[in-house]
Chain A
């Protein structure tokens, strides 16, 4: 029982960042119809940006996370403007191939810049765990969970309370009608991709210090993000949030009670099962955004 509680808490910490990854991807997938296989590379980018800011720049941890978010948004916007905008009329397969190319190029670019050895990202929190009854948790993880929750809340506000969010929702529902109503679709696409990439980078900056930063860390992150999207349904923000938490907890339970070697198989198995049994997502009532 105590062990179960511990697994649940650890799962929540992981799940919060998975939700960030998933929200970013589900927006890009749902709104732009782009299968962004490079999503995980923005997660890696975030981790390295945080590393650079903390280890080399010596800044505050929150500032480092903000720097990562900025880097993700900037590169995401660039990627959309240069590569995806000219291909908007092309099929989903074409953009998918391009994003696979970006994935490989970014990953190996990171390998060239940072080298293949995993880097541990310094953080200012004490390593002694907080003990709350049967559960113990590192202060860093508490911080990660709080910040992830804050960013998820900020995403909700952006989608539901801002003009940009309203335009994004309109575009998701019906691109042509939105365009007729004066929504600048190109801008929405750039904003969506930048926003999604920034969230992925934030996830990387948050989880990087918990684990390690290494160039291929994005591969699994991307697959987990896809798993979250599939769990939650396309363009479904609450679905992605719930899906992220569920995946985090499922992984912790799988690693704890089945075998730690198969921790990363949990996501794969979930993808396969959900696609087979409920292709529209576990929480999908209908396709939507918000």
Chain B
């Protein structure tokens, strides 16, 4: 049953541009994919190690700026610039991980927020590098041999590959000794230490991988919208990621993707009905309601429902 659903899902994903030619819908799906990578990335920290990062927009933004600047200023190929962006954000994640080693809970949150705040101010003020508030226009679309991936249907496959890769990395980590160490940190840190889990090492590792994935999403975003400005550091992005992960189900693999799809499509549907402010207001209310009524998220709730029906 599950296998059939998975196969069907994969088939739908692989053929999507052929039956969903409408560019607007494709755009929504592409954004859902980029947010899917972001949600997977945040989930690695929030869902598995139990540490909430509210600075994830910083990693997203660093990825976007790095990839854009490498192609614009150094004229690197997209295919080199994107890994470069991932590497640099992973390095930023390492830095934050090292800095926040001993901090947990609210203090971890504050360090990540502050980091994002500093980075965002740098992006506005370091005119020579970032062009300040005006941003960087004309980020090139990726090319594959003689083809440009400018068309939405082509870019869709690039994003799909990004999502698949991120999912694979998360799935393999989670099912391994490393993922178990993440969980041990979330569940009971002193006990984890007592059986030889070097908790800080794994927290740094989680931060590095999480940041790297957010950087990947940033790079994919930059070459898709082909414009990067300090807006990529908006706190709204971080909040959206949190809502996606919490709603979908933190600490599950499918949860963040379900959340990303839902919370990209939903605002787009709402956009026709209401203004952006109402949407954000609804986001806030929804987050509160989720905590009260669906604290573990959609995917775990569905799993529990299935288990009840089966027994």
Contacts and interface: CB of A to CB of B under 8 A. Distances in A.
Q: Do these two chains really belong together in a complex?
A: yes
Interface of A: 29, 35, 83, 86-87, 92-94, 96-98, 100-109, 111-112, 219, 223, 226, 230, 259, 261-262, 264-265, 267-269, 271-272, 275-276, 279
B28 interface: no
B118 A104 contact: no
Nearest to A261: B125
B182 to A, nearest CB: 16
Contacts of B169: none
Interface of B: 50, 52, 54, 99-100, 102-103, 105-107, 109-111, 113-115, 117-118, 121, 124-125, 235, 239, 242, 246, 277-278, 280-281, 283-288, 291-292, 295
A94 B295 CA distance: 8
Contact of B99 (A94, A259, A268, A272): A272
B277 A275 contact: no
B129 to A, nearest CB: 14
The list of the 4 closest CB pairs from A to B, nearest first, reads: A105-B284, A104-B284, A101-B287, A101-B288
Given A83-B288, A279-B103, A97 B242 contact: yes
Nearest to B46: A93
Grouping DSSP codes into helix (H, G, I), strand (E, B) and loop, the A interface class, with mixed when no group exceeds half, is: helix
Contacts of A96: 52, 106, 109
A60 B19 CA distance: 65
Contact of A275 (B52, B54, B110, B121): B110
B257 to A, nearest CB: 20
B240 to A, nearest CB: 10
A219 B115 CA distance: 15
Contacts of B103: 275, 279
Nearest to B286: A101
A3 B192 CA distance: 55
A108 B110 contact: no
Contacts of B292: 86-87, 98
A93 B278 CA distance: 26
A108 B274 CA distance: 13
Contacts of A262: 121, 125
B111 A272 contact: yes
Nearest to B236: A104
Contact of A269 (B100, B102, B118, B125): B118
Contacts of A219: 235
Contacts of A92: 105-106
Contact of A265 (B113, B121, B281): B121
Contact of B287 (A104, A264, A271, A272): A104
Contacts of B102: 279
Given A262-B121, A272-B99, A100 B287 contact: yes
Contacts of A105: 281, 283-285, 288
Given A111-B277, A264-B117, A35 B106 contact: yes
Contacts of B105: 35, 92-93
B234 to A, nearest CB: 10
A279 B99 CA distance: 12
5 contacts: A97-B291, A102-B288, A108-B283, A108-B284, A272-B111
A265 B120 CA distance: 9
